[in-house]
Amino acid sequence: METNYSEISKKIQEISRKLLEEGRVDRVIGFERGEFTGEMTPVLVTDPEEAENLLFNPECEMMLAKYLLDYGGSTTGIVAKPCDTRAITVYLAEELIKRDEIVIIGINDCQGLEENEACDECGVRNPVVADEEIGQPRQEPVETDIKDDLKDMSLGERFAYFQEEFSRCIRCYACREACFVCSCEECFVDSNQPQWVGFSVGLRDNFTFHLMRAMHMAGRCINCGACELACPEAINMRALTRNLYRVAQEVYEFEPGLDPEEKTLFATYRLNDSEQGFLD
Ligand code: SF4
Ligand code: SF4
Ligand code: SF4
């Protein structure tokens, strides 16, 4: 059955208006069509009359969870694709947000986003946590096959591959901004004491940025693809991060963002844990 995005938008508008009218939230974060670009853009609605601007469709590619970090101490409603609910769950597990300060408007049976290859690898199509649900939950599991670009490459071939990819990086940091995991108050790339990365663009510093960023994704990246969608140079940085996702799953039986009560991968330790690295 074809997904009716007008119906979904209508429902989001109804729920948001009600939440704002009843004072259950101070604001709702969702999407509207941008006035100048015509693209789907994040919007923050505080007036119930403006809830009618909220829309949803497969162009709503940005992950909205990151905005929640700005509104602690008040209540926020958030329109959430299943991957957004996983991001929220990671934040809850890391105690970065409080459950009683958010109202999650979860969208069931996600059909994926336009032009997001990561959606083909996504097996979580219903919200993992929600206060209000839109649509019927998908019952059938989704067949997913997480790509492994590095599998058949020798170490030398991998190095050459990433040299080619990272040589195109202009270090605009759009990937970092788009990624909900990248939520540090000060990113290591902006630190000048110590200085981890040079300010000018060059292959060596580009490698440092991507490898260090990838390390910070371990056990936290949910393979949502927002980083790649944001990249103006079409760099395949998920060749690194999706590998971390797979290693967490296959070696440590851990999938981030499914259970807010579960400790994060780095906060757990078993004596028989494998010593496998993510590029092995
Ligand atoms: S990653 Fe999954 S939940 Fe997120 S938009 Fe794609 S299919 Fe939907
Ligand atoms: S978005 Fe692309 S070009 Fe910009 S820093 Fe990230 S990888 Fe480099
Ligand atoms: S795929 Fe991973 S690294 Fe990329 S934006 Fe999503 S969580 Fe961040």
Q: Based on DSSP, count helices (H) and strands (E) in the chain, helices before strands.
A: 7, 5
* 230 within ligand 3 shell (Cβ under 6 A): no
Buried b / exposed e across 116-135, counting CB within 10 Å, b at 16+? bebbebbebbbbbbbbbbbb
Q: Of 97, 96, 62, 101, nearest to 79 (Cα)? A: 62
Residue bearing the CA closest to ligand 3, atom 3: 221
233 CA distance to ligand 2 middle (Å) = 7
pLDDT tens for the chain, 280 residues: list them.
Answer: 678 999 999 999 999 999 999 999 999 999 999 988 899 999 999 999 999 999 999 999 999 999 999 999 999 999 999 999 999 999 999 999 999 999 999 999 999 999 899 999 999 999 999 999 999 999 998 988 888 888 889 999 999 999 999 999 999 999 999 999 999 888 888 888 888 888 888 899 999 999 999 988 888 999 999 999 999 999 999 998 988 888 888 888 889 999 888 888 878 777 787 777 666 6
Alpha-carbon distance of 104 to 85, in angstroms, equals 8
Residue with tokens 């958010």: 102
Query: For a pocket test of ligand 2, which of 170, 176, 240 has the largest count of ligand atoms closer than 8 A to its C-beta?
Result: 170
121 vs 93: CA distance, rounded Å? 23
**Pocket lining for ligand 2, CB < 6 angstroms:** 169-175, 230-233, 235, 237
| Ligand number, closest to the Cα atom of 169 | 2
Please report, to the nearest 10 degrees, the dihedral formed by the alpha carbons of residues 226, 232, 236, 237 taken in order.
-60
Most ligand 2 atoms within 8 A of CB, residue of 231, 236, 237, 238 to mutate: 231
- The model carries a pTM of 0.93
Closest alpha carbon to 238 in 228, 251, 250, 249: 228
Domain-by-domain residue ranges, the chain? 5-134, 155-267
In sequence order, which residues have a C-beta less than 8 Å from that of residue 140 and are 6 or more positions away?
none
User: How far does residue 265's CA lie from ligand 3's centre (Å)?
Assistant: 16
- Nearest ligand atom owner, CA of 233: 2
User: CA separation (Å) from 106 to 6, 19, 240?
Assistant: 16, 14, 29
CA 175 to chain centre: 11
- For 104, phi then psi, to 5°, come to -100, 120
Instruction: Tell the residue nearest (CA) to atom 4 of ligand 1.
Output: 83
Find the ligand nearest to 3 CA: 1
Concatenating the DSSP letter of every residue in 39-65 gives SEEEEEE-SGGGGGG----TT--S--G
- Taken as a whole, the chain contains a residue count of 280
Maximum pairwise Cα distance, the chain: 61
Query: Could you tell me the distance, in angstroms and rounded to a whole number, from the CA of residue 177 to the centre of ligand 3?
Result: 10
CB-based pocket (< 6 A), ligand 1: 81-83, 110, 112-113, 116, 118-119, 122, 224
Question: What is the pLDDT, as a whole number, of residue 275?
Answer: 74
Question: Does residue 87's CB lie within 6 angstroms of at least one atom of ligand 3?
Answer: no
CA of 9 to the centre of ligand 3 (A): 26
